[in-house]
Structure 1
Amino acid sequence: MTLSQLGESFRQRRLIANLTQGEVAERSGVPRVRISQFETGALPELGAVKLLSLFEAIGLELIVRPAGHQRTLDDVIDETETDAGMNAEPASTRLRVRHPRKQASEVLKSVAKPRNAEA
């Protein structure tokens, strides 16, 4: 698996976890820009400490196994239990995580002076 492929898998799991890049940055200590570069494949390298920190921030762990290892039934069961525990939604139904922002009218009301106050 390349770093680019790992970044795409990370992005899918982040979306399933319903986290923004900013939230992951706060949890992991890795700048949001680096997370974006990692997810889009624009990052040439990523240190092990940062990678582990990113994984931990979204509830993933790194598992080391021999190259060419084929998935076993135990691997499938573990993945299914992990997905069920996170109340996972298919990545295809979620493209982006955004939290609601104040409407412009609310912001203007909070800074605008009443008209009769000027008289």
Structure 2
Amino acid sequence: MNLAQIGGEIHIKRVQAGLLQEHLAKFAGLSRVTINQLENGALKDLGYTKLKAVMDILGIDMETVQPSGLKSALVIAARSISTSYRDVVTPEMLSLMLRSGQAPEQFQPHLMTLLDETPLPVVVKAVTEAATPDVPARKIMKNLSSWAEQWQVCRTVW
């Protein structure tokens, strides 16, 4: 859920509670303009503490839920990084490469695509899925970092 969607929920709950924007703003220690921008999706950023204050007043929980569209990130990532190449990486192969840190030469372009172009939420979830008690996610992230440095990928987050 993004800030604009949360703002829409806040608007609905505020109206249901019979509160004016100025009341909610006063209760939360914010300006009415901030509440208006939040509800209308015009606000680009609002700190966690401020947002939580507004949500607490209206009884809205901030729970984390897995987006329904991302069932198996390893499947999605493997399919995505294999699109432009003759050799196909299976989810099992990708998982093994992530855990071992070993990148067979024919799959290095695939892994560069993973590091440079695959959406970060997919990469992070794929790392989580590949992790085992023997090879925790932290080790896999180190493997990704090593590859990124070795291959000088464009995405600077590694």
TM range (shorter): 0.5 to 0.7
Whichever residue aligns with residue 54 of structure 2, its letter is L
Instruction: Look up the match of 1:37.
Output: 37
Q: In 1, Cα distance between the equivalents of 2:68 and 2:30?
A: 31
The 1-side partners of 2:2 and 2:25 are apart by 22
The letter for the 1-side match of 2:27 is: R
Aligned partner of 1:53 in structure 2 is 53
DSSP 3-state at the match of 1:35: helix
1:5 pairs with 2:1:
no
Identity of aligned residues (%): 33
RMSD: 1.5
Alpha-carbon distance in 2 for matches of 1:65, 1:4: 17
Task: From the CA coordinates, give the structure whose radius of gyration is larger.
Answer: 2
> Which deviations, in whole Å up to 9, do the C-alpha atoms of 1:89-115 show, x marking residues without a partner?
xxxxxxxxxxxxxxxxxxxxxxxxxxx
Equivalent AA in structure 1 for residue 28 of structure 2: S
Superposition deviation, residue 41 in structure 1: 0.9
Q: Normalized against structure 1, the TM-score is what?
A: 0.53
CA distance in 2: counterparts of 1:58 and 1:20, whole angstroms? 12
TM-score in terms of structure 2 length:
0.41
Unmatched tracts of structure 2, length 5 or more: 70-158
Distance 1:5 1:17 in 2: 19
Greater relative CO, 1 or 2 (CA 8 Å, sep 6+): 1
Measure how far apart 1:66 and its partner are: 2.8
